[in-house]
Amino acid sequence: MILTPLYHWAPANRFEEIRRTGMKIYRSPTVAGSALPYICASPDPQTAWKYSGAMDWVNEISTWDLWLLHLAMTDECWVRPDYGPLVIEIKIKSEIPPDRLWWVGRRQDLGVPDPAPAPLS
């Protein structure tokens, strides 16, 4: 199974650090209650947003950066198994160096858009 590219949302105030040193495991978390031994990513930006910036308890962060990351054959990762047949979240137990990251963009609004527009009546 090939799990690349993947997407990860990070608070915009971490932009310079991520550009300089990449993504680090055991970094002070945004969503979790304590430092984690992995980096979370998703196969698409919307799903990644749903499990990061759109979480109710992180609404104090108003500006987020979207990063595209590529896995290497040496990265240790696993697909989170509790969502059924769809790949929703990948936990990466390796640090991602800057040369495997691409800054996609920044958003300042919160929320997850509806998956499909309501039908017109």
Q: Provide the residue type at 75 as one letter.
A: D
The model's pLDDT over 23-77, given as tens digits with 9 standing for 90+, comes to 999 887 666 667 889 999 999 998 888 877 666 656 677 889 999 999 999 999 9
DSSP H or E run through 20: helix 15-21
What is the pLDDT, as a whole number, of residue 19?
Answer: 97
Quick one: pLDDT at residue 92? 94
Question: H/E element holding 6?
Answer: strand 6-11
Domains and CATH numbers, the chain: 6-107 (3.90.210.10)
Q: Is the pLDDT of residue 108 over 70?
A: yes
Write the CB contacts of 48 (distance below 8 Å, at least 6 apart in sequence).
6, 7, 8, 9, 41, 42, 66
